Amino acid sequence: MSARQILVLRENLSLTRRLENRVEARTAELHHRAFHDALTDLPNRALFNEHLINAVRRRGRGGQSLAVLFVDLDGFKRVNDLYGHATGDRLLRAVAQRLTRTLRTADTVARLGGDEFAVLLEGPPVAGDPDTAAQRVLRALERPLRIGPNRITVGASIGIAVDVNGDETAEELLRNADLAMYTAKANGGQHAERFATEMHSAVLERMRLEAELRSALAHDEFFLLYQPVIDLASGVTRGVEALIRWDHPRRGLVSPVEFIPAAEATGLIVPIGAWVLRQACAQVQSWTVTEGAVLQLNVNVSAVQLADAGLPDAVAAALADSGLDPAQLTLEITESVIMDDLPGAIAALHAVRALGVKLAIDDFGTGYSSLSALRDLPVDTLKIDRSFVTGITHGKAATDLAQRIVQLAEDFGLHTVAEGVEQPDQAAALTRIGCESAQGFLFSRPVEPSEILVLLRAGSAEMVDEWSGQEFHPKRPSRGPDRSIGYGISGATGVRTEQTAT
């Protein structure tokens, strides 16, 4: 072989090697891409499953145990809505980093998709204690993340699945962790729960409820009842509180106590709440137009709605579409909701109040408001919780308590409405201590619009009798100057009766 031939051969050889190296690198890259998430570079679902399957095969050997954490961020959608998707993506990357740093290198941290992550813990039981690991993750995510100019805090709901029986498949472990996460989220989020067998049926039930809620809106299964709010001094109906009901195709009437929590957990309360606002405003405005009755309308607004940036728009749209005077609308927000995130609540309350609507604190007395907080809140009315009304005729202590609340409201220039008045002597006592208005079965249960209309048209005594207790004798309804309707209260109850025009 000539020197030249040897040279060519060498060149060819090195060329081949270079080519081979490139193919190898490219294959490795493709392999990496196939098994890693492009955004965070964490292992993806496929790789996680592979690790999990291997871990399941290895388990039991040398005291190895395994557990799966299913981590789902709380409030990630809100970050996306508020700051945009680019920030959302950066946040996911930052979370991925935190997770990796928080856990041991032996643990597999993967992104399953969206804001869902999974962790595979493998090792001797103590070192890999899944509850401790979950707590570490929760604590790590409690600290705000710095994304560009923003400091953003997201929490997480974590489900833990441990292989207790030693015979769970990889698939079962991941699914159990998912179910436990779902339960943690449904129970308020920001914490971890261990999988328990009962979760299966509970979660299935919840999922069915969710699916049904989703279709309920589309199929017009919700409707509103209205409960009159009575002016205690005059017996006049000042307004109504709208209360939602669900006419379930199979289960019949479902109470809001049953489905509002699920609607909140899934965010469905936002479209449902928007529907309530539209429906109630249109209804009350129709009474204004056809009956000339200017009723106040109270609508309940849940925590999730208050936290939703779209609430002012939803309220404005309901007002604009119906033509209802904003001054006729009061939004009721539960006290505990306001106290849970005071600065956030104050900002949101100001935003809706700018539309000219009023605000009431619902269930007042149950949420431990501080006095200074009350001063800072842009509210108009306190609704005294039923628990205070119940005891009011049973002793001095309960009466004193209710009186203190009324006094407090007066000091802050707020109106008072007592909730859940069932007995005439409760109404009497409330009137004595200076409470302005009341609601309750004594006056009326929540009723169909048609019954409110009857009340507005004539306020037939029989009907009012049927609604209320024996001693509470309605008189003929009056039409005062404000054209609101009312009925009297018997002298026997000690409640003042003030019927102007008859």
Q: How far apart are CA 9 and CA 75, in angstroms?
A: 64
Using rule CB under 6 A, residue 501 touches ligand C2E? no
CB 74 within 8 A of CB 190: yes
Among 37, 107, 363, 436, binds Ca ion (CB under 5 A): 363
Using rule CB under 6 A, residue 227 touches ligand C2E? yes
Q: How far apart are CA 102 and CA 119, in angstroms?
A: 11
Using rule CB under 6 A, residue 228 touches ligand C2E? no
Burial (CB < 10 A; 0-12, 13-18, 19+), residue 373, is middle
Q: How far apart are CA 421 and CA 302, in angstroms?
A: 23
CB 363 within 8 A of CB 336: yes
Using rule CB under 6 A, residue 290 touches ligand C2E? no
Burial (CB < 10 A; 0-12, 13-18, 19+), residue 219, is exposed
Judged by beta carbon, residue 181 or residue 281, the one nearer ligand C2E is 281
Using rule CB under 6 A, residue 256 touches ligand C2E? yes
Among 228, 365, 440, 486, binds ligand C2E (CB under 6 A): 440
Tokens 């709380």 belong to residue: 74
CB 480 within 8 A of CB 502: no
Using rule CB under 6 A, residue 81 touches ligand C2E? no
Using rule CB under 6 A, residue 441 touches ligand C2E? yes
Contact mark string toward Ca ion, 273..312, x via CB under 5 A = ---------------------------x------------
Tokens 């009340």 belong to residue: 455
Question: What residues contact residue 25 under an 8 Å CB cut-off, 6+ apart?
Answer: none
Of the candidate spans 3-11, 61-69, 198-206, 435-443, the one that interacts with ligand C2E by CB under 6 A turns out to be 435-443
Tokens 């709010």 belong to residue: 229
CB of 243 to Ca ion, least distance (A): 8
Judged by beta carbon, residue 225 or residue 351, the one nearer ligand C2E is 225
Among 130, 420, 424, 474, binds ligand C2E (CB under 6 A): 420
Among 49, 300, 399, 484, binds ligand C2E (CB under 6 A): 300
CB of 360 to ligand C2E, least distance (A): 10
CB of 332 to Ca ion, least distance (A): 4
Using rule CB under 5 A, residue 362 touches Ca ion? yes
Q: Which of 465, 476, 415 has its CA nearest to residue 442?
A: 465
CB 452 within 8 A of CB 445: no
CB of 241 to Ca ion, least distance (A): 6
Phi, psi of 323 (to 5 degrees): 85, 10
Of the candidate spans 126-134, 314-322, 357-365, 461-469, the one that interacts with Ca ion by CB under 5 A turns out to be 357-365
DSSP 257-321: HHHHHHHHHTTTHHHHHHHHHHHHHHHHHHHHHHH----EEEEE--HHHHHSTTHHHHHHHHHHH
By the criterion CB under 6 A, which residues form the site for ligand C2E?
Answer: 227, 243-244, 255-257, 260, 273, 276, 300-302, 332, 362-363, 420-422, 439-441, 446
By the criterion CB under 5 A, which residues form the site for Ca ion?
Answer: 300, 332, 362-363, 419
